[in-house]
A and B are shown apart, each in its own frame.
Chain A
């Protein structure tokens, strides 16, 4: 087939009509058919010859695109005068015209006003050629810097996460000779686990997290430290740079477990502290991680979802709920959850249906406070129009009554009032566009009142507004709408028993997602013995690590165990290394960084002895110090991508 095409191409000759047209344009009216034929053959041959020579210039110029200058040089070879001024902006500069049964292609030449050209400001001078050096490989190992391709491409990460058995072997073989640091270990270990417990494989892909000792290079440790500090620090400019680095750097794959734990632990601690600012920063980190095109987060979703969900539905997120705008955080986190659902929900993990279930449960509950109610609705609404249609619209009437009772009734609490107000505007905001699509144009106040109760009239006016801005709205809706393919909302509502051993897993995990929130929130109210409000930073550490183990176990153990306070594991030996950190704000975060830095292992496994990890770290470090300083220096400089990139001498040096 391809050969045929080639053959055809090599036999192509110009049509003899072209010769006639050219002759006519030269003023020769009558030209014989035979002459035309001869001319066609000759011209076709010449054109091919020139094309062949031009191709040589292209190849010798190490390009893959033929340029007009290549043709010029080829013409020069044949002693033909080159085509002057043939540097068109467009790829094909010809215009097409037809009329009177004839088709014509012509070269459009507009009249140029010289004064226009003179008066236009000069374009920017193009940057001069310069040299830039980076390490492509250090003793056969490719450093993860922006200049190099990512160590593990997204497809491979995805394959590891979704098909660990298939990817385990090639991963091992590939990484083995490369001495990839911990790169091959993750899939290999995942595979080992599968062998031991094959029945767990079904329906529990969330368990396939890396269970090996991860080693981070010194540069990576420094990077992690700086990035996490910048992300939760006080300098907004630094934070923007750090977030940009997270969202764009290709080499973060190795650090994902650490970032994921950092975020989940950070949320856990700061929810208790009601530190709204830090929660927002952490959510922005999640967003940046999600935005990084080289990362596949599937393996860490189990840690991220509870953290994000906490920020949506937590009863209290800030110290002054009446003043602070924690609603924005809830909205932002709700969008994040929707994004997670869109990316990672599959028929096996059912993330979306489980999330919907969690939201619905807390919304339906009569005693749910207004803040949580707001979060649940926002979370549901962000999941798309179908979810709004099936889950929110039927409850509008009921919800309207509740809102009215708070807004119109005696003022019991200002906070409740604000909450109800926000819930109302949220409902109106999300439901109006959906209703505008569902219902036919004549919008009748009474019909709305009949269907949606007290919210009806307001809804009606919003729907009318929505229709008015239909075009604009449609675009926005399209942008936010998520295509929900498999987990149909009807399924999520029905308590259909899932077959086999999957049922407990399915029912349990949403519980464990919601649970840390509740324990932590109730920790403030009832003050149970374990996660008591921290008098010193050390207790924050231990409580966070304890709850991390709690959660780690929770995924494997049946539900009852989750509620029992677990005995504290080994006291972390590096506690004494924690420097004193002043200020209440940083309380939860500072020790966490140190933890991440010193614990050179994957954070998830609860049963790894911290002592051995420390030894590992110590044994690992001197290896680097033995290296000549010069050699390590440069890649490290390169690693400081966000700042060095934006402030380098040649700002526009990377063509995008």
Chain B
């Protein structure tokens, strides 16, 4: 025993314990109050306490956050401030709204006015303390159609029933039949009117799920005949003969791994194995631009919530920020050690989150291209990401079957959702942020279910 080096090592070395300053203060105070000198001596003799400033973590959090491919993220990496608040909504006059509702139902008038005022007021009047300055990132001007959309959105918000454990949503489930394992990407527009699917046979298909069919604009020769002064010019430019429920977009030369609608529903982005991101017009159903730069398969792409910008990430281990009118990327977010599997914009458009095969999730500042957060903890490649609608949380899913919830403010994990046994392929929050839906690919369980499970939360009362 005496000569054993291992024993000697155990006796003389101190055990290193990382502990937050708050926790350490509490421990010290507790021991002093109880006059528990013996324990204090043991602590002094055998433990080396490494004190750090910041949020104390629970054991669960520590367990969940260790074990990334490149080790746990350094504390310094997550120190910079992140403006995770939402941008101020533009002031929109909604007189139209009021009239509509009065016409619709008179009895509900007094009741409905109140919540609407609240929701609009809270958004527009008060500036969120965590929100970035309004012009931190130049955003496109609002068009008239955008304003109309916003008004519709607000109207729906006021009617929406708040979801919760007592009030579960109605879910409409869309199944892609006869896809023969070929479906690789899916996106749904914000108003649930269009669904786009990217397929392994290089096509992108767009379906209309409302009775309104998809029509393309007339040919140039026919367009010149139209009276441009007429009121229904927007209706006249559409070619009735092309109306159909499904439009197929040809152009890629490899499986389409990412698809994203623009918020105004005029464009569609798709990213493919062939290394390009393509921008499609949903007016003419043709390809407008092919953005080349990745050179390797592009795994994911997404439009900014305000349009104009979009982000893509691929096998070349970088994520790129593009603007639709530039053929070269505006920013290149480099830092991941392996493929960037998924990319998502923060709801305020100032940040981009990327999930990678190196098992980390990074948050990048769009303004200067810096990495402002590194979330470690997943035990497998990240395959899905989503921000909560209030911008405060980030949910990530990986091949380890876990869904982790992160608080962007302090960069710590706040929750772990277990239940999946395999890769979590898709994640979506409900519009009010109360419910998180997750989908995973499963051949064995039910071959009818398409790999992407998309959930449309139609929580509003009709």
Tell me which residues across on chain A come within 8 A of B273, comparing CB atoms: 57, 73
With A56-B315, A177-B165 as known contacts, state yes or no: A131 contacts B443, CB within 8 Å.
Answer: no
Q: Is B260 an interface residue (CB 8 A)?
A: no
Min CB distance B189 to A, Å, is: 14
Q: A655 to B254, Cβ gap below 8 A?
A: no
The answer on a CB contact under 8 Å between A135 and B341 is: no
B172 is an interface residue with CB less than 8 A from chain A: yes
Whole-angstrom CA separation of A128 from B462 in the bound complex: 33
Check: A61 CB closer than 8 A to any chain B CB: yes
Q: How far is the CA of A472 from the CA of B442 in the complex (A)?
A: 42
B175 touches A131 (CB 8 A): yes
- List the count of A-B residue pairs having beta carbons below 8 Å apart: 123
- Pairwise interchain contact A650-B178, C-beta atoms closer than 8 A: yes
Contact residues of A between 137 and 165, Cβ < 8 Å to B: 137-141, 147, 149
Q: Please determine whether A653 and B177 come into contact, CB atoms closer than 8 angstroms.
A: yes
Question: Which segment, of B192-200, B279-287, B328-336, B366-374, faces chain A?
Answer: B192-200
B171 x A136 contact (CB < 8 A): yes
Are A63 and B451 neighbours in the complex by a CB distance under 8 Å?
yes
Given contacts A126-B178, A127-B178, A177-B165, contact A59 B381 (CB under 8 A): yes
Contacts A132-B174, A133-B174 known; A654 to B448 CB distance under 8 Å? yes
Q: Does B119 contact A (CB under 8 A)?
A: no
Measured CB to CB, the closest approach of chain A to B446, in angstroms, equals 8
Is there contact, CB below 8 Å, between B255 and A654? no
Contact: B207 with A131, CB < 8 Å? yes
B169 interface residue per 8 A CB criterion = yes
A65 at the A/B interface (Cβ < 8 Å)?
Answer: yes
Quick one: given A77-B296, A132-B177, A653-B177, are A59 and B452 in contact (CB under 8 Å)? no
| Cβ-defined partner of B205 (8 Å) among A77, A129, A132, A149 | A129
* B interface majority secondary structure: loop
B169 touches A655 (CB 8 A): no
Q: Is B425's CB under 8 angstroms from A77's CB?
A: no
Within 8 A of B (CB), among A618-648: 628, 630-631
A8 contacts B by Cβ under 8 Å: no
Q: How far is the CA of A628 from the CA of B184 in the complex (A)?
A: 35
**A62 with B184: CB separation less than 8 A:** yes
Contact among B209, B255, B451, B462 with A628 in the assembled complex (CB-CB below 8 Å): B462
Task: State whether the Cβ of A134 lies closer than 8 Å to any Cβ in chain B.
Answer: yes
**A64 within 8 A of partner (CB):** yes
Q: Which one of B167, B199, B299, B447 lies within 8 Å of A655 (CB-CB)? A: B447
Q: A61-B255, A126-B178 are in contact. Are A135 and B171 (CB under 8 A)?
A: yes
Partner of A126, one of B180, B423, B442, B446: B180
> Is the pair A631, B462 in contact by a Cβ cutoff of 8 Å?
yes
Q: Within 8 Å CB of B447, what residues of A?
A: 655
Contact A139 B178 (CB under 8 A): no
CB distance from B453 to the nearest CB of A (A): 9
Q: Quick one: CB contact mask for B197-226 with A, threshold 8 Å, 1 for yes?
A: 101100001010100000000000000000
Check B357–A63 contact: CB distance below 8 A. Answer: no
In the complex, A158 Cα to B115 Cα: how many Å? 49
Interface check B432, CB cutoff 8 A: no
Which residues of A sit under 8 angstroms from B462, Cβ to Cβ? 628, 630-631
Instruction: Indicate with 1 or 0, residue by residue over A156-188, a CB within 8 angstroms of chain B CB atoms.
Output: 000000000000000000000100000000000
Q: Which of B177, B257, B448 contacts A131, CB < 8 Å?
A: B177
Query: B177: which of A64, A139, A654 is its contact (CB, 8 Å)?
Result: A654
Residues of chain A from 178 to 215 with CB closer than 8 A to chain B in the complex: none
- Assembly CA distance A149 to B173 (angstroms): 13
Chain B contacts of A631 at CB under 8 A? 170, 462
Q: Which of A102-128 contact B (CB under 8 A)?
A: 126-128
Decide if B448 touches A73 in the complex (CB within 8 Å).
Answer: no
Q: What residues of chain B lie closer than 8 Å to A135, measured between beta carbons?
A: 170-173
Chain B CB within 8 A of A60 CB: yes
Residues on the B chain within 8 Å of A63, using CB? 181, 441, 443, 451
Q: Min CB distance, A502 to chain B, in Å? A: 43
Interface centre among B167, B170, B443 (most CB of A within 10 A): B170
Interface: A130 (CB within 8 A): yes
B381 close to A133 (CB less than 8 A):
no
Is B441 touching A140 in the complex (CB atoms < 8 A)?
Answer: no
Q: What separation, in Å, do the CA atoms of A140 and B459 have in the docked complex?
A: 11
CB distance from A479 to the nearest CB of B (A): 30
- B177–A130 touching, CB < 8 Å: yes
- Complex CA gap A126/B462 in Å reads 39
B209:A140 contact, CB within 8 angstroms = no
- A139's contact among B170, B246, B297, by CB below 8 Å, is which? B170
- Do A77 and B178 touch across chains, with their CB atoms under 8 A apart? no
Interface flag for B358 (CB, 8 Å): no
Most buried by B among A62, A69, A127: A62
| Chain B contacts with A in 445-461, Cβ cutoff 8 A | 446-448, 451-452, 455
Closest to B255 in A: A61
- CA distance in complex: A97, B309 (Å): 60
- Verify B315–A77 contact, CB threshold 8 A: yes
- In the bound complex, how far is the Cα of B448 from the Cα of A134, in angstroms? 13
On chain A, the residues within 8 Å of B257 by CB distance are 60-61
Given contacts A63-B451, A137-B170, is CB(A129)–CB(B176) below 8 Å?
Answer: yes
A-B contact pairs, 17 of them (CB 8 A): A57-B255, A61-B181, A61-B200, A63-B181, A63-B441, A64-B443, A64-B444, A127-B177, A129-B183, A130-B177, A131-B209, A133-B175, A135-B172, A138-B170, A630-B462, A650-B178, A655-B448
Q: 19 other contacts beyond A73-B297, A631-B170, with CB at 8 A cut-off?
A: A57-B273, A59-B381, A60-B255, A63-B181, A64-B441, A64-B444, A129-B183, A129-B197, A129-B199, A133-B172, A133-B173, A134-B172, A134-B173, A135-B170, A136-B173, A138-B170, A652-B178, A653-B177, A655-B447
